[in-house]
Amino acid sequence: MQNERLRAVMASGGWTHASLASVTGVDPKSVERWVNLGRTPRRATALKAAERLGEDIHALWPALRQARAARAVSPELVALYDQRADLPVSVFVDLLTAGRERIDILVYAAVFLHEAYPRLNDLLRERAADGCAVRIAVGDADSENVQQRGQEEKFGHGIESRCRLALLHYRSLASVPGIELRTHGTTLYNSLFRADDQVLVNAHVWGVNAYGAPVWHLRRHDSGGMFDTYADSFNAVWETALLVEA
């Protein structure tokens, strides 16, 4: 197969097989094979040729594009669950109980936690009393994005009701030192449950209720990894959220 891109670039610049061969240190026959047979030169030679031609090396020889090596499994991935409903609530409780410095919760509602574990507020009070900073962001039931989510999940006004219920569950914590409660109206791509260097990420899938969507458990491995991506996302939402007064 001929390399038509290389042929066109050489023609537009007035290059011949011989002249390009001269500046790249190869035989003219080699350049002819690059053009007419679609041969790919060695990377070092290709770099010289591309520089002389004023063209991107990968535009001339796509085969030289080096794909980034992929890891089979991220070192930050602790566990992956097909859907949130597969997780016993103890997984969430154990994670939050382990928090010593920071607990962050970002949801629209997630009332399943209070329903399955009525001591959730007591747990958060205890963590705050031990010096753990607790931040909770629940969905603003009146926001357009929450209402849109209800339509997408075919849940109607149910999601709005659950946001209001979640706020009722958490409201008593607004006056607790060390705990801050806010409401947000962002598009929620993932619900986050963080304790120090671990986080449970409940993905949101269009048209699927959160309990039927996957969850991955991450533990921070190095700075700049997946954990930090989600931590930064929480912080960005938190900056937009409105404080719930005690």
Q: Which of 16, 3, 2 is nearest to 53 (CA)?
A: 16
Q: Give the pLDDT confidence score for residue 178 in this predicted structure.
A: 97
Q: Give the pLDDT confidence score for residue 209 in this predicted structure.
A: 82
Q: Give the pLDDT confidence score for residue 139 in this predicted structure.
A: 94
Q: Which of 148, 137, 116, 100 is nearest to 240 (CA)?
A: 137
Q: Give the pLDDT confidence score for residue 216 in this predicted structure.
A: 94
Q: Give the pLDDT confidence score for residue 154 in this predicted structure.
A: 64
Over the chain (246 residues), the average pLDDT of each successive run of 10 is: 90 94 94 94 92 90 71 82 90 95 96 94 98 97 86 72 94 97 94 97 88 93 87 96 91
pTM score, two decimals? 0.70
Q: Give the pLDDT confidence score for residue 151 in this predicted structure.
A: 77
